Amino acid sequence: MNEQDFEKLLDLYGSDVARWPEHEREEASALLSQSRSASELLNAQATVEKRLADAMLVPETYGLEQKIMARFATHKQRFDIRYWMEFIWKPAFAAACSLAFGFYLGAANQEVPTDLEEDLAYVTFYDYESWSGDSEDES
């Protein structure tokens, strides 16, 4: 194994040689005992891995949950009508406008039937009555 192969394996498996596959671990141990630059590469990789692991740690904030819950306990709830009207007036106004517009359209499109239309309707329904077989003459 040469140093380039060792560096590739170091990138693949990390700085803990004990976790490497067995046949590559033996070759890496032999190279580490012979080459000082391979040992320096291993130490540099171990340092990088340790710094990454330390950077991933998030410090615990003791008492944060209690502080948040205490804020909820001291926060005043507003239940007055002005608070609720802030959320209700816009949808209520939109519904009222839609309703008023619907009434307007319904009232504006009313047509009064003329005498001719009424006569035509009577004649049409009279013809249906004669075909239905329920005439008053047959009784």
- The C-alpha torsion from 98 through 103 and 109 to 110, rounded to 10°, is 160
Per-residue pLDDT tens listing for the chain (139 residues): 888 888 898 888 888 888 888 888 888 888 888 989 989 999 999 999 999 888 877 777 778 888 888 887 776 666 667 777 777 888 899 999 999 999 888 887 777 666 777 777 777 776 555 555 555 555 4
Which residues have a Cβ under 8 Å from the Cβ of 42 and sit 6 or more positions away? 10, 15, 17, 32
* Domain ranges, ordered by start, for the chain: 3-56, 79-131
Q: Which residue has the tokens 């939109």?
A: 94
